[in-house]
Structure 1
Amino acid sequence: MPEHEPEQELGPKIADAFQTKADSARGLRAQGMAAIARRRVRRRRQTLITAAATVVVAVSIGGVWGAIGEPSPVSTSAGDSKAAGEANGSLDSPVMPRPDAGCPAQHPIEKAPGPEAVPAGIGLDVQMPVYGLQACRYRLVPGDPMLLGAAEFNADTAQQVVDAIKVLPERNPALPVFKCAPSAAQANEAIVLRFDTALGRKEVWVAYDGCASVGFFTGSQTFGLYAAPLKLFMKGTVRPAGGIYLDHLKGW
């Protein structure tokens, strides 16, 4: 019977131990790689959820996002449109006076017998709402009439002008305001206020020069000339240097 040697029995045990350790190490590596993969999947899922939430928020506030996640330069919200309109002076602020402002180069007031002779159907009913205003200043010198100045105003200012006119006392247009020389009786210039209404363009003729006819003329009513309405639209090129009646009127 062969002699039992401990080294022969120890060799297989050591080999088995090394094999077991190697298998354990491989298992740990596999588990570690699986954990890493799971973490990467969770991160990708969180990234997608965050991106989706960002798009939802962007759409809810009316913004348009580009491919790189920057806000679009084109606004899609009503609030942004209003802000842009206010910045450009197109909504709530009066438009600055400018040379043309849509006023016709020639107007019936230039050939009328006087600034009180508003043709039928043109005059404004001062009880009507108005939505805009063109103020046009004309020279009435016979043989040399012309447009002297113009300005546009928004709906708020237009309504303020009408409200300031309709509370003025009415006067008899046939009576002169005060006596003056015949050479100064007729006006050398006047202003036409052209209002936007639901019935189209309606006008008030404003006479402030001369002394034969002075006031706000609508064709059916004549209101006395006072400073409150004048200072709302006598701006820029629409503002006259003076006038026979204006020289006696304060506050305009």
Structure 2
Amino acid sequence: MPEPDEQELGPQIADAFQSKAHTVQGLRSAGYAAEARRRVHRRRQRLTMAAAAVVVVAAIGGVWGVIGGPSPVTTSSTAGSAADNGSKMAPGAPAEATVVCPEQHAILAAPTHEALPSGDGLDLDHAIVFGLEVCRYRLEGAQMLLGSAHFNAATAQQVVDAIKVLPERNPSLPVFKCTPQTARPKEAIVLRFDTATGIREVWVGYDGCSSAGFFTGTRTYGLYAAPLKLFMTGTVRPAGGIYLDHLKGW
């Protein structure tokens, strides 16, 4: 067979390479376009999901925060629990402790630690108490509040129960013959009980030489160690006293 002319083959080969190049370029262009469309589609999906999430969060924002934390709005179960707790409190119980030790107290001006006005005293036989503030005062010289301590309702009731069973006088304590100058105690303690009708007090005498005990304005209870051990602590615990020096176990 006669061999093709080189002049004819040249253009044919060139056309073939050019056609191949166009085909490859077309395939690449098609692939790039498909990949671009796929990425755009995925981006639109993410934006749509994010927008939906924002709408849901905004809709329930009163109950849940954007980060999923609980809302401060009180739920019905929480309110029910609070109501149940409140129903278990004693009638007339204050929401929080209201008894405090005043810097200036009536005992500082009273002639003796027995002179508690009857209207301010606590009726121990019928007392329901919600708390106790113990106040220790210096009565002689530079009068002042020496210390204070707070006790909860349970301890306050224990103090009441421990005092109300006592006799009027502790016969184991000595009886002193006093001059007016030595009769007045150097210090005393005031028990301020929180009750449904306000603050009611018991004055505690353990120094001086005229009398000792728990005074309510209408009754006197002897000085015994059992009640003292319940509240004589910290700054309200005396270093001593004429009657305390003869009382064991306090």
Deviation of 1:128 (Å): 1.6
1:177–1:200 Cα change, 3 Å? farther
Quote the residue 1:223 is aligned against.
221
Q: Does 1:178 align with 2:175?
A: yes
How far apart are the structure 2 equivalents of 1:74 and 1:102? Answer: 34
Residue 152 of structure 1 corresponds to which residue in structure 2? 150
Give the direction of change, closer, same or farther, for the CA distance of 1:237–1:73 in structure 2 (3 Å limit).
farther
Amino acid at match of 1:251: G
- Alpha-carbon distance in 2 for matches of 1:74, 1:228: 48
Alpha-carbon distance in 2 for matches of 1:191, 1:75: 44
C-alpha separation in 1, matches of 2:64 and 2:191: 47
Q: 1:234·1:240 contact (CA, 8 Å) conserved in 2?
A: yes
* Residue in structure 1 matching 2:197, options 175, 178, 199: 199
**Who is 2:133 aligned against?**
134
Residues 73 and 139 from structure 1, CA distance in 2 versus in 1: closer, same or farther, beyond 3 angstroms? same
Paired residues in the alignment total: 173
2:8 alignment counterpart: none
Specify the SS of the correspondent of 1:132: strand
Q: How high is the TM-score relative to the length of structure 2? A: 0.60
* 5+ long unaligned stretches in structure 1: 1-54, 56-63, 83-94, 96-100
Measure how far apart 1:171 and its partner are. Answer: 3.3
**5+ residue gaps, structure 2:** 1-59, 85-96
Output the aligned Cα RMSD.
3.3
Give the deviation of 1:135 after TM superposition. Answer: 0.9
TM-superposed CA distance for 1:157, in Å, is: 1.2
* Alignment correspondent of 1:85: none
Partner of 2:68: 69
In the TM superposition, residue 184 of structure 1 has moved relative to its aligned partner by 3.9
- Structure 1 residue 73, shift from structure 2 partner: 8.0
